[in-house]
Structure 1
Amino acid sequence: MAVETLTFGCRLNAYEAEVMKSEAQKAGLDNAIIVNTCAVTAEAVRQARQTVRKARRDNPQARIIVTGCAAQTEARSFGDMAEVDLVIGNHDKMQAASYAPMAFGTPLNDKVQVNDIMSVRETAGHLIEGMDGRARAFVQVQNGCDHRCTFCIIPFGRGPSRSVPMGLVVDQVKKLVDNGCGEVVLTGVDITSYGPDLPGAPTLGKLTQSILRHVPDLPRLRISSIDSIEADEALYDAVASEKRLMPHMHLSLQSGDDMILKRMKRRHSRDGALAIMAKLRALRPEMVFGADIIAGFPTEDEAMFANTLAIVKEADLTHLHVFPYSPREGTPAARMPQVSKKLVRDRAGLLRAAAQAQFQALCASRVGQTEQVLMERGGQGRSEQYIPVRVAGTQPGALLTVRISGVTKNGLVGEAVRKAA
């Protein structure tokens, strides 16, 4: 075994896993497993602990390193696990020097090596070659968060908001395209806060325009989860004018009820979110939306939940990530009156069912149409609207024009007509 990474959570973690593996190998580390954790829910932390124990059972001689957001926020509890050899923080995991003591067998006074993430003010760019053979690649443009939503522990795992310089982002995209990458996804913790810490204070929209202008061979650019209230005019201009920017946006919505949004300390309103989606659809009629929604936030009553359930259909949310609320110690929401666990589960189920109905309707509308599909592994690809499409006899990385012939529970089925232009 060389270095294996086991990654949980967000797209940023997936990108960072590639950097971590490279940095650990530079340090000379081998026979090691790096568990890159997530802290967004209590369940994510539980799964990380379970994975650590399984990794030790399956690999008794390997060195096990735990990092990521849960390691940053709950460092000592991971350090107390007998299965763990080293715990390193979110900033340190991106540096070869953090892995050197483990590589050379240097004794450590404390196996917990986690520094103060809140003091970090810059995010260094790291060039990766690709993402383990994937046709799509994630590119970090930003890290950290300056907001304090009442349910969220992530700012304490990621630190303050900081941006990757525009030139470094463009260089990374160029490198990926040169290596055959067919789609780049811009990612971060709060990517619509991109830029104010950089010279000239560029915005996410300006960054998007710069990438598309300076990397003309990039087939497809996609933007990950955005905070709708921070979307800038340059981003709207890019949506309207650049077909290589995919017609799929994922919103950090969280709720469809104004009172719950206030108690979450979100900055948008229900009507504000609907207005932004309407504006984007006016610019690109084929635009589809996904959203993060929390089910059973503290104090959520039936009327409040009804507003959230209704927005799934009203906004035609077809790609929903539903998070059953779980209290995170140290957050204000954990001290609010809680909704019963059963009710949380029931509401999460209703939200998922509503989203599945919207998704199936979207899929049904595509039957008989042609889609541009970027193929990935296992004969499955993604359409421009991020719909999974199964196409037999294809190779990963191929960008195909596909005629859609049917619908499955999880997406579409089609036949390749030709390679996309």
Structure 2
Amino acid sequence: MSHERRPDTAGEVRLHTGLPTAARVSLPQLSVTPGASSPAASSQRSSGGNAPVVGFVSLGCAKNLVDSEKMLGQLAESGCLISGDESAADTIVVNTCGFLESSRAEALDVLRELAGRKRAGSLRRIVVAGCLVQRDGDKLREWVPEIDALVGVNNRDDVVKAVWRMDRDAAVDRFLGDYHPIAVGDTHRWNDLGRLRLTPRHYAYVRISEGCNQKCTFCTIPSIRGPMHSKTPDELVAEARELTADGAREIILIGQDTTSYGADIGYEPGLAGLLRRLDRELTAAHWVRLMYVYPSVFTDEMIDAIAECRRVVKYIDIPLQHINDRMLKAMHRRVTRQETETLLEKLRRRIPGVSIRTTFIVGFPGETETEFREMLQFAQDFDFDAAGAFKYSLEPETPAGRMREQVDDALKADRYERFMLVQQAVAFAAAKRRVGKKFEVVIDGEDERGSLARHAGQAPEVDSGCIIPDGAHAAGQFVSVRCVETDDYDLVCEVKGAGGKKGAGRRAQGAAGGRRANSDRKRRPARRT
């Protein structure tokens, strides 16, 4: 299975199974049997109905992608036919993102495109799921009346009912419940087992928690996803083992706030304990990567676990959002500049060779030129391995959306461009420091430039990468390389013991120029709490 992300969107994934049109998906290694004893499949078989042919569009962040994979697994298990060719599908499921106004606009563009197909008679049913449904509910049908079913984030498992249209009497199927806690051990407790994955086989995301308790003033996540609720370590080990059995060699831990993991379920060892257990028990995994850490709850025990666990890569994804104390307070980040600098210095001192990635918000309400320059200088001085910026997006239902002194769009755009130009120089210099060094990479795929890979300090889809021009390697293979030169943000490498720099340089130069001039490679909304 492969997937496609359009670079001009906030993160669209349209399913490409690599199977014949409307082929039934078999998932023998994911404990999913298509056509298993689901109520929907049983009902349709008994009534002689035809199985829906389902296409799928996934929008948004990695957490949303996990939901998409789970829904696909459930649909396949119910007996649906999953098609990588949308033109062959009679039903399309769109898993939406509603984090920012731009993501809402993208989702509506997709839905209106599908609505046109439905009016033309080439599509029977449109099912909309995810954050935008949870956020806007029935308003979506006011904007796109052709929608047939709405499935909120707290009703994800009802996607099977929505697709099979279990309620024949309803003009529109609505599954829009609020979040409610389910006790550990309850048979109805949420899980992400049995997914039909959209990522390449060799890496997979594991969501260790859902929701957030931080309440940053710019963020809509708590109102959409609810309070933080963690999976148990046993549940996470089982999920990660299922994924490694399916070929994943890199397990990427995600959540709205991974550093607060376990607090809500009384798991005293917290994130540090989880990392140590995964390091000990995931013998089939080569790398375990941690994303979305929150600076105010990053403990010494977590730092030690990252430093000491062999499988845990030395990579920290820590969105800081700002560095000026007044701005941090207005954002309700629960951290000061001094505390941030102390933490960052500690990370570099106690985790040798660590790569640190961050993001900032420009144009937050009330941000002065002096405060922006303070952030700009800080980013330049600290020399982050990767850093991106996001223009503040006014979300009316958030505290920041009600603040006075909103910054106008032109000034936001100016500050964004200035930040990215400064960070571009920082990133180019960081890449050049890698020349001559040897390290291990994982192969992600290939294009006209050669094999595309990443070292441990590069996360998939968000960071720059490595190019091996003269290499022909299988995706998921780990190889040792030496960096011979750079291509903007990317590193041009040769396999240790292979040919010289001259040929590699010619191949890389021929492909240069097509890379985005942006040190933040995110293709999905990335403002995180």
Normalising by the smaller structure, the TM-score range is: over 0.9
- What amino acid does structure 2 have at the position aligned with 1:99? V
Partner secondary structure for residue 61 of structure 1: coil
Q: Which residue of 1 aligns with 2:452?
A: 380
Contact 2:483 2:494 in 1 (8 A): yes
Contact 1:130 1:176 in 2 (8 A): no
Which deviations, in whole Å up to 9, do the C-alpha atoms of 1:264-314 show, x marking residues without a partner?
111111221121111111112311211121110000010111111122122
Higher gyration radius (CA): 2
1:251: how far off? 0.9
- What amino acid does structure 2 have at the position aligned with 1:408? D
**1:20 equivalent in alignment to 2:71:** yes
**1:187 equivalent in alignment to 2:254:** yes
**1:412 equivalent in alignment to 2:463:** no
CA–CA distance in structure 2, aligned partners of residues 364 and 414 of structure 1: 12
Q: Which residue of 2 aligns with 1:234?
A: 301
Q: Which residue of 2 aligns with 1:48?
A: 107
CA–CA distance in structure 2, aligned partners of residues 85 and 417 of structure 1: 56
State TM-score, norm by structure 2: 0.75
1:252: how far off? 2.2
Match of 1:146 among 213, 227, 243: 213
Contact 1:371 1:402 in 2 (8 A): yes
CA separation of 1:397 and 1:347: change in aligned 2, threshold 3 A: same
1:42: how far off? 0.7
Contact 1:260 1:300 in 2 (8 A): yes
Q: After alignment, is 175-184 or 13-22 more displaced?
A: 175-184
CA–CA distance in structure 2, aligned partners of residues 130 and 320 of structure 1: 32
1:58: how far off? 5.4
Q: After alignment, is 158-167 or 13-22 more displaced?
A: 13-22
Q: Which residue of 2 aligns with 1:270?
A: 337
1:198: how far off? 2.0
CA–CA distance in structure 1, aligned partners of residues 350 and 67 of structure 2: 33
Contact 2:435 2:484 in 1 (8 A): yes
Which deviations, in whole Å up to 9, do the C-alpha atoms of 1:110-135 show, x marking residues without a partner?
43321113x34566222246733332
CA–CA distance in structure 2, aligned partners of residues 409 and 131 of structure 1: 31
Q: Which residue of 2 aligns with 1:341?
A: 409
Query: Unpaired runs of 5+ in structure 2?
Result: 1-21, 23-52, 82-88, 184-188, 459-463, 499-529
Query: Unpaired runs of 5+ in structure 1?
Result: none
CA–CA distance in structure 2, aligned partners of residues 200 and 74 of structure 1: 34
Q: Which residue of 2 aligns with 1:69?
A: 131
Within a 5 Å distance, the mapping from 1:386-405 to structure 2 comes to: 386=458, 387-391=464-468, 392-405=471-484
CA separation of 1:371 and 1:55: change in aligned 2, threshold 3 A: farther
Within a 5 Å distance, the mapping from 1:309-388 to structure 2 comes to: 309-336=376-403, 337-378=405-446, 379-386=451-458, 387-388=464-465
The alignment yields a C-alpha RMSD, in angstroms, of: 2.1
State TM-score, norm by structure 1: 0.93
CA–CA distance in structure 2, aligned partners of residues 102 and 178 of structure 1: 29
Q: After alignment, is 152-161 or 31-40 more displaced?
A: 31-40
CA separation of 1:39 and 1:283: change in aligned 2, threshold 3 A: same
**1:88 equivalent in alignment to 2:154:** no
Which deviations, in whole Å up to 9, do the C-alpha atoms of 1:31-76 show, x marking residues without a partner?
3322222222111111111122223445731522222212111112
Contact 2:127 2:163 in 1 (8 A): no
Q: What percentage of residue pairs aligned between the two structures are identical?
A: 26
CA–CA distance in structure 2, aligned partners of residues 308 and 346 of structure 1: 15
Q: After alignment, is 325-334 or 406-415 more displaced?
A: 406-415
Contact 1:144 1:159 in 2 (8 A): yes
**1:298 equivalent in alignment to 2:365:** yes
1:7: how far off? 2.1
1:17: how far off? 1.4
- What amino acid does structure 1 have at the position aligned with 2:465? P
1:183: how far off? 0.6
Q: After alignment, is 32-41 or 327-336 more displaced?
A: 32-41
1:416: how far off? 2.1
CA–CA distance in structure 2, aligned partners of residues 329 and 120 of structure 1: 27
CA–CA distance in structure 2, aligned partners of residues 389 and 324 of structure 1: 28
Partner secondary structure for residue 264 of structure 2: coil
1:101: how far off? 4.2
Q: Which residue of 2 aligns with 1:100?
A: 161
- What amino acid does structure 1 have at the position aligned with 2:442? L
CA–CA distance in structure 2, aligned partners of residues 12 and 372 of structure 1: 27
Contact 2:63 2:254 in 1 (8 A): yes
